[in-house]
Structure 1
């Protein structure tokens, strides 16, 4: 693989860890200044909203401009914003408006750069290496998301939130430097003209492409349902399960949730490649959905072992969640490779970002559903129900002939396949 691919993944790894550290440091700062957890929760929701919305509204940037330049601008802006927050913290200048604006801007930058770093893979590696590149990309994201809070927790105690803000800004700047030394594209994907009307047209074209490409539309709907079930599991239900049974054993929650992250990392680094080699891409995706759903069903059933003590509960639940995390990586790596290979370059980033947007908008509703279900049923039963919902998605995917046909294609046949089979989806 080319040097630029590894430079971009290193920048992404460092940038994601810095972003997680920044989130923890800002949380510490806001809570120290206001003592209001509800306010911080609102700020987090604001950042998540900016992230998700920018994936839908700004994805066209990556298709009309040099993707490397767009990513570089995101990191430079992130470095400036992080540095501003660090200076404000060191000078004792706390402003709710400043923090709110910074969180929105950082969320929007994250929403622009993350899908683009995935869609750039096709330009940075040879066709035969795309699947491995997507796998590496998934491993980078899983490990950085897992390591970020750990690094932040290790630093903020002894050094304080001001130092963590400063270090986060420095790391984001280093990510910008890594992107800066990458080679520039010789051509620009699209012309920067047309004003607001062109912008709206580009946004609509991205969603229209997803809707008209049958396998992507069905994957998007399935992913929406899965994320609808997935998000409340870790945001609401598992914390409730642990608090209800082991309120005095806070380590149980860390162990159980970490098992899922370890499954994601293991799946991305080696498991998915081996299983795909044995079963093929289509069966691996179906099996991945099944493993994710059954992992949650098993973890919910493990709630009945609470009487056996925290060690037994943690061990059994962790095994099931490890399998669930591995299953999710089996889905993400293979469907991501198909999307990157099959989508024409002029629409690739909008396709990647639009699917990400559609899957992300249901997360708040999923969190609400998780709370309502847990209120009406016990939390373990809620986990079983959501796991069965994901298993139902696996059954639907296994019967989908159109999606199965594209998942069964070789990398050579997939290259540009959407433009050949669905030309009407890519008409401006």
Structure 2
């Protein structure tokens, strides 16, 4: 098993990934069909209506996300995911029946979008945290990257297939096909080997546990930085579901197949970014900041493209930078969070990355109606640049050098790692090396290569995820012990 696909050595992860891929293809087909239904059949190319539909799907995670994360820490994640995936499949079925019967109205689509958002709010935090239970801590970065690759492989196929099917059989049957694809992920959940799961002890019931998660985040300055950057990008930049539909229909005057093709083209970039991420053992905050800047620049360039073809080409670069940003943020949050807080912290992360969409998507649609679609795309690019600037300011304020110095440190570290790898004894795989995730046990039983003196896993992982120290005194914010409340579970070591 190569280092790029090492998470697939786990039988449970292989089964989960296969089911998720089938379901994700259907989800992307539904997204394209739903936007096209609202834009061309239920309204007269109303960008605001498309934005409201998208926003309603993400509003519940902003309101319910913290409680959903707490449930993810308390309950069996596999059983919780079975319930949420079943609910989303049934809603897709209802939507298909309404459209095929000719009874669908705009308010029906709004209501179903809101209910889908509720199910997704309870699905997202445990689904993100479930990765660590499928593979264990050592292979979490690779599993997160492969999840992104699977999602974007589905995104590559789904929109294009949806565009063709809308023209051939209509949007109603696309919704029905999406309902059927949920059977794939439900089957995989029933076939998982429970004895191979790396479970975290469930959190006992108690008062103030949601606020305990919030207070924990407040003690982690790097997680706070990620939440701020993710909030800006998620609210104002990652609205391509709206902007691509408007660019296809109103700027380039194309049809549903061309709109679906834009999603597939962008997915080429995101899939490439996911495969590159799968090769990394550890993401760094420097990479996160650079990806935000790259996303801003690529989005601004896309807004200026004069033709459909040139716009589609630039979307590849938008996809690479967007995926690199999201994958780095997700992995850093997972690896720097204590296991008993992981569900609640990931819920906060999902709330800011997706919960801003109810504000951003309608705003983008309104801006497109008011001043033009290109200006709406441009505004998203500027928001990503602001997020990157916030990251550069924060890292420099913490005494970790300028952005240029941080990049030099990253390349110096990589050269040193290659030199060390060349001197290492043969036969040690990436997945089995103790350096796969600092502070975590080896994935194999082979004798590990000699390592420097170790420190506790928590601090080692945090150091690996932070940029290399620069000259001058360190100004890093001190780490305080997380606040506790009655009923909250004491810290425990990560389990493999």
Question: Normalising to structure 1: TM-score of the pair?
Answer: 0.77
Q: Quick check: 172-181 or 139-148, which moved more?
A: 139-148
2:339 counterpart SS class: coil
Report deviation, 1:259. 3.5
Q: Quick check: 214-223 or 184-193, which moved more?
A: 184-193
Alignment of 1:269-348 (within 5 A): 269-270=275-276, 272-273=277-278, 281-302=284-305, 306=306, 310=307, 314-315=309-310, 317-348=311-342
Report deviation, 1:62. 1.0
Measured in 2, the distance between the counterparts of 1:413 and 1:235 equals 42
Q: Quick check: 102-111 or 116-125, which moved more?
A: 102-111
1:204 counterpart SS class: helix
Q: Deviations over 1:302-356 (max 9, x none)?
A: 3xxx3xxx3xx623x3443322221122222222222112212211121112111
Report deviation, 1:220. 0.5
Name 2:19's counterpart in structure 1.
11
Report deviation, 1:135. 0.6
Name 1:190's counterpart in structure 2.
202
Report deviation, 1:213. 1.9
Say whether 1:176 aligns with 2:179.
no
Name 1:141's counterpart in structure 2.
151
2:237 counterpart SS class: helix
Report deviation, 1:421. 3.9
Q: Which has the higher helix share?
A: 1
Name 2:66's counterpart in structure 1.
56
Closer, same or farther: CA 424–166 of 1 in aligned 2, 3 Å: same
Say whether 1:361 aligns with 2:367.
no
Kept after mapping to 2: 8 A contact 1:233/1:370: no
1:74 counterpart SS class: helix
Closer, same or farther: CA 426–70 of 1 in aligned 2, 3 Å: farther
Kept after mapping to 2: 8 A contact 1:66/1:189: no
Name 1:394's counterpart in structure 2.
388
Measured in 2, the distance between the counterparts of 1:24 and 1:351 equals 30
Name 1:218's counterpart in structure 2.
225
Closer, same or farther: CA 399–273 of 1 in aligned 2, 3 Å: farther
Name 2:432's counterpart in structure 1.
none
Kept after mapping to 1: 8 A contact 2:21/2:151: yes
Report deviation, 1:211. 3.1
What is the root-mean-square deviation of aligned Cα atoms in Å? 4.3
Q: Deviations over 1:92-141 (max 9, x none)?
A: 88799987765444322222223322212222224332211111011122
* Aligned mate of 2:252, from 246, 249, 260: 246
Question: Normalising to structure 2: TM-score of the pair?
Answer: 0.68
Measured in 2, the distance between the counterparts of 1:20 and 1:348 equals 27
* Aligned mate of 1:202, from 202, 209, 213: 209
Report deviation, 1:148. 2.9
Closer, same or farther: CA 180–251 of 1 in aligned 2, 3 Å: closer
2:232 counterpart SS class: helix
* Aligned mate of 1:266, from 272, 276, 281: 272
Structure 2 unpaired stretches of 5+: 1-6, 402-408, 414-434, 441-456, 463-477, 489-496
Closer, same or farther: CA 292–28 of 1 in aligned 2, 3 Å: closer
Measured in 1, the distance between the counterparts of 2:232 and 2:361 equals 13
Measured in 2, the distance between the counterparts of 1:267 and 1:226 equals 17
1:247 counterpart SS class: coil
Measured in 1, the distance between the counterparts of 2:95 and 2:363 equals 35
Report deviation, 1:26. 6.7
Measured in 1, the distance between the counterparts of 2:91 and 2:376 equals 40
Q: Number of paired residues?
A: 409
Closer, same or farther: CA 400–183 of 1 in aligned 2, 3 Å: same
